[in-house]
Structure 1
Amino acid sequence: MLPTQTIEELISMSYVSAVIASSGFAPNTIAKDYGVDLEVRRIETFNSKRIDLGVVLEFQLKASINWETKDDHVIFDLEADAYNRLVFRRDNASTPCVLVLCCLPKEENSWLHVCEDELVIKKCCYYHFIDGKETGNSSSKRIKIPRTQLLTPLSIQELSKSNYGGALS
């Protein structure tokens, strides 16, 4: 049997891939994890054939049962090293990398429900661009994600436009 953390990661990967596909973009899983788990790729039609126009966004996925809501934010303690890597990447990469937090219920048996009519993955994912300086903390950095930053097909379309001046619409 897989470790719980691996199951959390695989569920989050499936959830986010489905949202990306539903947005009209193509999800691409990164085989070797150097801080990016998924790419959002733009696919267009050229001479009646599909053509890959490249990466629009990159996602670093985190899945956890250890989150809480407070007022209009989701509070999560991100590992300090992961936080610092996202700060470094933000300042040095050409493609934006978005942190995506998959908030899972505390009870493992309620993460996924399958029947003939539907597949339900609970709870949801939020996206966040790291905007601070590197942390000197050794264990974690508390982040607050606005609950309005729910990862949806529409939010992925909006993120792709906002990062490239609307050129991808």
Structure 2
Amino acid sequence: MPHATMQRAILLILIVVLTDQHIAEALSRAYVRAIAGRAGLNLAIREYDYGVDGSFDEVIVRQHRRIESGFSLSFQLKASTQWQLDSTHVIYDLEAKTYNDLILRRSMRAAIPCILILLALPPDSERWLICEESELRLQGTCYWEYLSGSLTENRTSIRVRILRSQRLTPKSLLALMQNVKTGEWS
């Protein structure tokens, strides 16, 4: 292969970037990591996705050591630009298979709870992440929902409505962990 042709091939390889879907997924993981870190929870991201993307684990102090308490909250993480707001809800079309997985998980009363987390991104991918000298800003916000109801017979998607007040913040994440500990969900 002539030298100039090889250089062009290398250049083409270097300019290939992730898809917008993969970039959105990476940003959603960064968002969740930041929230978990600020809340003081340990975060585990699954290597393989079998309906659960990760979990938050409580850390306690025992005999001057920090250890995991055994209380955990699993999550399925989605990132999308395809959502709408009304006065009280975020409206999102979730894949039917994912919805059914989360409904089945909730029906297993002894199972570790698994919430849906949606990163609602702006439509313009150029606005997803703002990098300035004084701050790094991820545009959009995460909402959470502990889905309940009946399985859907839909084959493609089901519309879910998440209360806008259910933003994932360090404070709300700690309240969710308290729900895990008490077994009470509102």
With structure 2 as the length reference, what TM-score do the two structures score?
A: 0.85
Q: Equivalent residue for 1:30?
A: 46
* Contact 1:37 1:60 (8 Å CA) reproduced: yes
Q: Equivalent residue for 1:112?
A: 129
**Is the aligned partner of 1:62 residue 2:87?**
no
Q: Which runs of 5+ in 2 are unaligned?
A: 1-16
User: Residue by residue, what CA displacement relative to the aligned partner does 1:10-42 show, whole Å, maximum 9, x if unpaired?
Assistant: 100110111011111111111111111121011
* Contact 1:75 1:143 (8 Å CA) reproduced: yes
**Is the aligned partner of 1:123 residue 2:140?**
yes
User: Residue by residue, what CA displacement relative to the aligned partner does 1:137-158 show, whole Å, maximum 9, x if unpaired?
Assistant: 0110000001010110000111
Given residue 11 of structure 1, which amino acid in structure 2 is its aligned partner? L
**Is the aligned partner of 1:145 residue 2:128?**
no
Separation (CA, whole Å) in 2 of partners of 1:12 and 1:42 = 21
Structure 1's consecutive aligned runs of 4 or more residues displaced over 6 angstroms after TM superposition are none
Query: What root-mean-square deviation, in Å, do the aligned CA atoms of Structure 1 and Structure 2 show?
Result: 1.3
**Is the aligned partner of 1:21 residue 2:37?**
yes
Stretch moving more, 48-57 or 138-147: 48-57
Given residue 155 of structure 1, which amino acid in structure 2 is its aligned partner? S
Q: In proportion to residue count, which structure has more strand?
A: 1
Given residue 77 of structure 2, which amino acid in structure 1 is its aligned partner? L
In the alignment of these two chains, the number of paired residues is: 166
Q: Equivalent residue for 1:155?
A: 172
Separation (CA, whole Å) in 1 of partners of 2:165 and 2:63 = 39
User: Residue by residue, what CA displacement relative to the aligned partner does 1:94-145 show, whole Å, maximum 9, x if unpaired?
Assistant: 1100100000000000000112211100110000011111100011000000
**Is the aligned partner of 1:42 residue 2:53?**
no
Separation (CA, whole Å) in 2 of partners of 1:137 and 1:17 = 32
* Contact 1:72 1:146 (8 Å CA) reproduced: yes
Given residue 32 of structure 2, which amino acid in structure 1 is its aligned partner? V
Separation (CA, whole Å) in 2 of partners of 1:157 and 1:77 = 27
Secondary structure of residue in 2 paired with 1:131:
coil
* Contact 2:118 2:142 (8 Å CA) reproduced: yes
With structure 1 as the length reference, what TM-score do the two structures score?
A: 0.93
Q: In proportion to residue count, which structure has more helix?
A: 2
Given residue 43 of structure 2, which amino acid in structure 1 is its aligned partner? P
